[in-house]
Amino acid sequence: MQKTELKNANNITFSKEFTHKFKNALKEHFGYEEFMDFLVVPSITGKKTLSYLPIINYTDRKSDDIEDLKELSKENRFQIRALNFEYRDFKDNDTVTMRLDIGGFSSDELFMKTVKKKCRTKVRKSMKNGFEFAYGNGTKELDDFYTIFSDTMYMHGTPAFSKEFFISLSKEYKDSILFFNSYDNKKVISSYCVLLDKKIAWAGWGGVDMEYRGKLAGYFTQWNTIRSITDLYDKIEIFDFGRSPFNGGTYGYKAQFGATPVKIDIITSQTKDIYSKYSLASNIWKKLPKSMVDLIGPKLCKYLVDL
């Protein structure tokens, strides 16, 4: 086990309002039924799981504030996601969310004080490629984001949500959802979708065109997204990079920018490791034709409680 000293993660979860909006978007898009505080996630085999909540990395609950949920779900299949701010003895593949404290910094200060030296070098190098950067929440911004997102999910062997899922999110979050896109001669090459909640900016989904990884397009988009959030939203204190397995590849990438882990406790009636459970299915998924996964993937997402 590895002890990790957290920087000031502010001990904040998503707000109840934010979680409620996410739940509404899932109900609209997937047609999930509601059971008290839970959503009911069906499986292809007909089994049902009470989830608080599907898809979102964590909720409005801390790990010491879920006894009521455990009581409500105790005779059912269930899964609860909560943040554990007390956890320090991290081990490989622990599920964590990676957080960067941006409150009180200008983007220039953040870049010099928090981003690691090698990462700063890569960001500066990416800036010399003549890429363009833009953001918004209109149809074009969403379409450009989705082009990168769906290709990235396919590359990683994971079913992708349909574009309509992000439209449902946009209806709920309105100006609190933003799509950050980078371009090379008007071709979209890297993207992020960010949801804003009071003090948190959560980068839930993103990706990069594989042809542009060598040109550091991911670093270009990542830093410009952080910079934009830092400079434009004074009340945001946490840039949340989203879920990673501790010491995994995405963990190392996010840590370069100064992010530190907060444990996501996944309390469930099932014994499982979410990072090994789907490894075989992921390898098979990567080998299927893109046209097939584009058709099947969005339908399959409804039934995968661990997404």
The pLDDT value given to residue 293: 62
Closest CA to 190 of 252, 246, 251, 134: 134
Domain that holds residue 87: 2-303
Q: What is the rounded distance in angstroms from the CA atom of residue 299 to the CA atom of residue 30?
A: 9
Total tally of structural domains belonging to the chain: 1
Q: Residue 304: what pLDDT? A: 84
pLDDT, residue 285, reads 52
d(Cα 238, Cα 245) in Å, to the nearest integer? 20
pLDDT for residue 275: 47
Reading the block at residue 227, the tokens are 């910079």
* pLDDT for the residue 272: 59
Mention every residue, 6+ apart, whose C-beta is less than 8 A from residue 201. 194, 195, 229, 233, 236, 238, 239, 240
Give the whole-angstrom CA distance, residue 33 versus residue 50.
10
| CA proximity to 51, closest of 30, 31, 23 | 23
Kindly give the pairing relationship between strand 200-208 and strand 177-184: unpaired
Q: What is the pLDDT along the chain (307 residues), one digit of tens a residue?
A: 555 555 556 789 999 999 999 999 999 999 999 999 999 999 888 899 999 999 999 999 999 999 999 999 988 999 999 999 999 999 999 999 999 999 989 999 999 999 999 999 999 999 999 999 999 999 999 999 999 999 887 777 777 889 999 999 999 999 999 999 999 999 999 999 999 999 999 999 999 999 999 999 999 999 999 999 999 999 999 999 999 999 998 999 999 999 999 999 999 987 655 545 556 555 655 566 666 666 766 677 788 888 7
User: What CATH number did the domain enclosing 182 receive?
Assistant: 3.40.630.30
- Residues forming a β-bridge with 47: none
SS3 at position 232: helix
d(CA 14, CA 199): 9
- In 24-71 the beta strands, taken as DSSP E runs, fall at 33-35, 38-42, 48-52
Are 202 and 59 spatial neighbours (Cβ–Cβ below 8 Å)? no
pTM of the prediction?
0.91
